[in-house]
Amino acid sequence: MRTVRDCFRVLALVTAIMAAPAFAQAWPAQPPRLIVPYPAGGNADAIGRLIANRVGPLLGQTIVVENRAGAGGTIGAQAVARAPGDGYTLLLAPVAILAITPHLRKVPYDPETELVPVAMLSSSYGLMAARRDLPANTLQEFVALARKDPGKYTFGSAGAATATHITGEIVHLKAGIRLLHVPFKGSADALNDLLGGRIDLIYDPVALAQVKAGNLKALAVTSGVRHPELPAVPTLRQAGIDVPGGSWFGVFASRGTPAAVVSRLAAEIEKVVIAADAREQMLKFSQYPDFKAPQAFARQVADDRAFYRELIDKAGIKVD
């Protein structure tokens, strides 16, 4: 009986292997979904819709963008991790979901096995942006202000354990100041409260348009280089605070998605990311094109996961 069962298992495996190329050739036979794990209006939503609108025609299908916000992006990530590995459910994710959040709290997905790297899309020009009437115009002035009144000032984020949260915690640790963290369901909500004066700071590239409009002020750039549209604003390191800079967005698929489907999707995404006007379009929401193919992107994710694990442990960062 065992021999018969073993034969059936081998037959099933061979059938699946032979069927994979045919499935990949037929894919996509229906509109894929791109899950954005944050509300509409933020940078994740903007980059997701840009990619979906441009990659869809190359695939001959409409890519449907679906916002599933909550729990710092983990609700959307879980939806993709639990979806069939058929290439029809994809995730638009920042570095936090794969490399930061899992080190801070239990997440309902395995970031190492359940989400397959497809392509890295962009990196961020992060901003440390303050409400317009904050009585400080530089990072040094704000640090002096915060040291006088520990816990008085607040900073918002796209959610607990997101990159917009961890960046702030690291800056405050390095600067020797204490702020109250206010987590939101996404960048757009945090930005609205900053504009309304209900919080004092955010560490998020979503603030760019409002900084340029004069409704907010930028105290520093959190990326490794100055923002091309804010050349007078120094980086954190230039302002005297040595912190790691940069954050990325990428596309992931469910575990089991055929390699041929991942390769096809990555190839079409590359065409969009390296297009002549991609840099101009991404700059509108403080991103710049930074494509990596599946294998290189997988290495990036693994390296970042190890980097943030060590950093979080050394800094003693906790999430309640």
**Is residue 24 situated within a structural domain?**
no
For the sheet containing 89-94, what is the strand order? 64-67, 33-36, 89-94, 248-254, 115-124, 287-292
Query: Both 107 and 149 in a single domain?
Result: no
| pLDDT of the residue at 85 | 98
Query: Both 139 and 108 in a single domain?
Result: no
Q: The domain spanning residue 164 has which CATH number?
A: 3.40.190.10
**Is residue 236 situated within a structural domain?**
no
Query: Both 133 and 104 in a single domain?
Result: no
Query: Both 263 and 310 in a single domain?
Result: yes
**Is residue 8 situated within a structural domain?**
no
For the segment 190-237, what is each residue's pLDDT rounded down to a tens digit?
999 999 999 999 999 899 999 999 999 999 999 888 999 999 999 999
Longest Cα separation, the chain: 80
Contact 126, 286 (CB under 8 A): yes
| Neighbour count for residue 182 (Cβ, 10 Å) | 18
Domain boundary among the residues 205, 221, 237 is at 221
Query: Both 304 and 159 in a single domain?
Result: no
**Is residue 14 situated within a structural domain?**
no
Domain boundary among the residues 157, 187, 221 is at 221
Query: Both 46 and 111 in a single domain?
Result: yes
Query: Both 208 and 76 in a single domain?
Result: no
Helix (H) or strand (E) holding 74: helix 74-81
Domain boundary among the residues 204, 221, 238 is at 221
Contact 49, 65 (CB under 8 A): yes
Q: The domain spanning residue 263 has which CATH number?
A: 3.40.190.150
**Is residue 10 situated within a structural domain?**
no
**Is residue 18 situated within a structural domain?**
no
Q: How many Å apart are CA 203 and CA 52, to the nearest integer?
A: 26
Question: 212: domain range?
Answer: 127-221
| pLDDT of the residue at 9 | 57
Query: Both 212 and 132 in a single domain?
Result: yes
Query: Both 115 and 260 in a single domain?
Result: yes
**Is residue 234 situated within a structural domain?**
no
Number of domains within the chain? 2
Q: How many Å apart are CA 186 and CA 41, to the nearest integer?
A: 9
Query: Both 206 and 135 in a single domain?
Result: yes
| Neighbour count for residue 92 (Cβ, 10 Å) | 27
Query: Both 59 and 114 in a single domain?
Result: yes
| pLDDT of the residue at 194 | 98
- How close are the terminal C-alpha atoms of the chain, in Å? 54
Query: Both 59 and 109 in a single domain?
Result: yes
**Is residue 163 situated within a structural domain?**
yes
pTM score, two decimals? 0.81
| pLDDT of the residue at 10 | 52
Helix (H/G/I), strand (E/B), else coil: 154: strand
From first to last of the 320 residues of the chain, give the pLDDT tens digit: 555 555 555 554 544 454 445 555 799 999 999 999 999 988 899 999 999 999 999 999 999 999 999 888 999 999 999 999 999 999 999 999 999 999 999 999 999 999 999 999 999 888 999 999 999 999 999 999 999 999 999 999 998 888 899 899 989 988 999 999 999 988 999 999 999 999 999 999 899 999 999 999 999 999 888 999 999 999 999 999 987 667 899 999 999 999 999 999 999 999 999 999 999 999 988 889 999 999 999 999 999 999 889 888 877 887 76
As beta bridge partners, residue 218 has 129
CA atoms within 13 A on the CB side of 4: 1
Q: How many Å apart are CA 16 and CA 260, to the nearest integer?
A: 14
